[in-house]
Structure 1
Amino acid sequence: MPRASSPTPVTLDVDTLLADRGTGIIVCCGSGGVGKTTTAAALGVRAAEAGRRVVVLTIDPARRLAQSLGLTELDNTPRPVEGVGRDGGSLDAMMLDMKRTFDEVVEAHSTPDKAAQILANPFYQAVSSSFAGTQEYMAMEKLGQLRAEAEREGTWDLVVVDTPPSRSALDFLDAPKRLGSFLDGRFIRLLTAPARAGGRAYLKVFSVGATVTAAALTKVLGGAFLTDVQTFVAALDTMFGGFRERADVTYALLKEDVTAFVVVASPERDALREAAYFVDRLAGEGMPLAGVVVNRMQALAAPALSGGRAAAAAEQLEDAATADDDLAGLTPALLRLHADLADVATRHQAHVSRFVAGHPGVPVATVPASATDIHDLDGLREVGAALGTG
């Protein structure tokens, strides 16, 4: 029986993706430590130098994006990156500040007096800084804000999103559903019932059981804390229905052809297993996948020389050399280094081939391993060139 041939990998055409004016959002996702932030920045730089007006939004709190773009800091306001852009292209960058974004939502969707009351609420201050899922809610909100500004004012025509490292990078896909569950939960309905009923109607709305429950909560949480919570969720009930609607709109936008997801991985087994999870999850959600970028692929200066042959040659030279022979030094050492790198390159290629076999038809692009860390615009341009066609 003839041996089955390995599937031919489909190459991710990054330049075509960046040049497509119909693509308005690129979401980079992947596990930690695979060069996701670097990839997002490199895509932003290459797109700007191809004439796109780009904003890169990082949700990763690490400062590497600012450093690589030559900025001293990033915050919730887009900052221009100097020295990037051709033919009308430009690049701005920002880092999500989830509390500031939450504050902006409050200020934009309530009266000044109401906003001041909410911002001063102790429970709000705790929730806006550390409540589980807040980062994902605010990422969805900020992405929606950027897209709306781009359409309204023409500020940008491409938004590149660098998501948090780990599987939580896709948690923002669940933000509308989780927010809806939170607002519609029994505990929230219990706390908001007095505000909804108002005055003496409170006694009519609450059953005896509910009253007992509220009394128990007061004993456990404390009267002042419970009042803070009730005030906060009452504001949520009247104000954040709009947030839920906007999150739904943004979620729907992520499914449209204007969006492209790029999964980033390294050529190691665990990282590619995570990449497979992302690819499968995106397919299950009906999200448009552009392809997979595999960073730090080991390349060889002399690929025709296998690792085994290099190691054998090094051993022969060492056996033939005398103690004072130059052959006993540099040449065998270089051959053994080549042998080690060849083994790494073979392992990397095997892992990528296994991924391609498991996901035929998923476009893949690779970036060679760099001798140094990517820490400036020139390094980002090199990454972009490796992803592009030249």
Structure 2
Amino acid sequence: MTPPARRGRKRVAAGGLDVDALLDDPATRIVVCCGSGGVGKTTTAAALGVRAAERGRRVVVLTIDPARRLAQALGIEQLDNTPREVTGLSGAGRLDAMMLDMKRTFDEIVEGHSTPDKAAQILENPFYQALSSSFAGTQEYMAMEKLGQLRSQADRDGTWDLVVVDTPPSRSALDFLDAPQRLGSFLDGRFIRLLTAPAKAGGRAYLKVFAGGVNLVTSTLTKVLGASMLTDVQTFVAALDTMFGGFRERADRTYELLKAPGTAFLVVAAPERDALREAAYFVDRLASEGMPLAGLVLNRVHASGANLSSARALSGAETLAEQKGHGLTEQLLRVHADRVRVAEREAAMAERFTGAHPDVPVVRVAARASDVHDLDGLRQIGADLAGR
């Protein structure tokens, strides 16, 4: 099957987001799906990957903590830190999928930027093991690292021409943009430098350093962290010294990549107050940072499915209740009234968002009765995203 002709980028169609034009444009190299947790970012990213691949792109989707059913929907038994090809697609494109393993990604950074002996020393350090597994912001930072790695590989060997990223399920959608800087600042900041100072000074200079204010700081830290923990931290940062600066530099490079013309952010939100508030914060932040926003995906939208208002349906149900003998029809009208009320409430919340952000293109994806379990389900969501 011949892939469709590439069209110029056209983000807006009939007041909405033209997803197919975005995916078809060869200038689009990175699509970032972002938003608060639980709004369907991972499924949206997978559906975009399937649609783009079946339209002729060579795509890799980086997912964050996907449900097992999503791996099954992609036809892959297990997603891990290695891109694996998705089979069963139509068209001339290709789709690979992977799941971020933040510790393995951190280990790869250590192994790639230090000698084997130094890497072994770092990897075995208890403080590093805690940092790489559970330190606040590590997952977001490693997502950025992996994105940079995938884009570099795509530029180097042409394996992919599009990277689709599902951002971590953070407490705040803004954590994805902020965490790399926070972690980079921590790893090459004043606090860590202070801890490495004694080890660097050595001999009498070592004693001299500790004789002053550093001794007071260290004794305080010992009380807070414990002597063993402080030793682990000092050993870790001393071993990591050759890598200082690299964390911030790579984060800065990836951050600039996110601002480049070939990147498109899709903010994903459910038609709920908190999710749309988070989406509004993210839209404003992207604008303030000069990052390329493609539009909003309003996910899991309910429609009434009929031209009967909730008030009329409820009135009809009350009339039938008085007449008796029409129990089934009465219940159906009440269910319909509830559904219409949900749809009306969602529409009102969406209108508040679009009223505050009239220049942001929006595409709506219908709510489904069940989760996605196969490629056809992802294709249907992709069709919704494309307005088909």
TM-score (norm 2): 0.89
User: Which residue in 1 is equivalent to 2:331?
Assistant: 333
1:68 is displaced (CA, Å) by: 3.0
Aligned counterpart for 1:74 among listed residues 75, 79, 89: 79
* 1:308-332 CA distance string (max 9 Å, x none): 23333344444445x4xxxx14333
Where does the alignment leave 5 or more consecutive residues of structure 2 unmatched? 1-12
Q: Give runs of aligned pairs for residues 142-153 of structure 1, distance below 5 A.
A: 142-153=146-157
Percent identity, aligned pairs only, is: 74
User: Residues 338 and 132 of structure 1: is their aligned pair in 2 closer, same or farther, counting only changes over 3 Å?
Assistant: closer
User: Which residue in 2 is equivalent to 1:356?
Assistant: 354
User: Which residue in 2 is equivalent to 1:305?
Assistant: 308
User: Residues 181 and 243 of structure 1: is their aligned pair in 2 closer, same or farther, counting only changes over 3 Å?
Assistant: closer
* Number of corresponding residues: 376
* 1:3-22 CA distance string (max 9 Å, x none): xxxxx983011111111111
* 1:242-286 CA distance string (max 9 Å, x none): 232111100011011111111111112222122111111221222
The range that moved more, 45-54 or 64-73, is 64-73
User: Residues 252 and 72 of structure 1: is their aligned pair in 2 closer, same or farther, counting only changes over 3 Å?
Assistant: same
The reply to whether residue 18 of structure 1 matches residue 23 of structure 2 is yes
The reply to whether residue 134 of structure 1 matches residue 138 of structure 2 is yes
1:212 is displaced (CA, Å) by: 4.7
User: Which residue in 2 is equivalent to 1:373?
Assistant: 371
The reply to whether residue 37 of structure 1 matches residue 42 of structure 2 is yes
Aligned counterpart for 1:285 among listed residues 263, 282, 289: 289
Where does the alignment leave 5 or more consecutive residues of structure 1 unmatched? 1-7
The reply to whether residue 238 of structure 1 matches residue 233 of structure 2 is no
User: Is contact 1:141-1:243 (8 Å) kept?
Assistant: no
Aligned counterpart for 2:126 among listed residues 122, 125, 130: 122
What is the one-letter code of the residue matched to 1:311? L
User: In 2, Cα distance between the equivalents of 1:118 and 1:305?
Assistant: 66
User: Which residue in 1 is equivalent to 2:270?
Assistant: 266
What is the one-letter code of the residue matched to 1:339? A
CA RMSD of superposed structures (Å):
2.3
User: In 2, Cα distance between the equivalents of 1:296 and 1:384?
Assistant: 13
What is the one-letter code of the residue matched to 1:95? M
User: In 2, Cα distance between the equivalents of 1:85 and 1:221?
Assistant: 56
User: In 2, Cα distance between the equivalents of 1:312 and 1:217?
Assistant: 69
1:181 is displaced (CA, Å) by: 2.5
User: In 2, Cα distance between the equivalents of 1:158 and 1:213?
Assistant: 49
User: In 2, Cα distance between the equivalents of 1:334 and 1:212?
Assistant: 73
User: Residues 313 and 131 of structure 1: is their aligned pair in 2 closer, same or farther, counting only changes over 3 Å?
Assistant: closer
User: Which residue in 1 is equivalent to 2:6?
Assistant: none
User: In 2, Cα distance between the equivalents of 1:164 and 1:144?
Assistant: 16
The reply to whether residue 94 of structure 1 matches residue 98 of structure 2 is yes
What is the one-letter code of the residue matched to 1:55? V
Aligned residue for 1:149, secondary structure, equals helix
- Whose Rg is larger? 1
What is the one-letter code of the residue matched to 1:239? M
TM-score (norm 1): 0.89
Aligned residue for 1:169, secondary structure, equals coil
User: In 2, Cα distance between the equivalents of 1:269 and 1:212?
Assistant: 49
User: Is contact 2:140-2:167 (8 Å) kept?
Assistant: no
Aligned counterpart for 1:295 among listed residues 280, 284, 299: 299
User: In 2, Cα distance between the equivalents of 1:143 and 1:135?
Assistant: 12
Relative contact order: is structure 1 or structure 2 higher (C-alpha 8 Å, sep ≥ 6)? 1
What is the one-letter code of the residue matched to 1:145? Q
User: Which residue in 1 is equivalent to 2:4?
Assistant: none
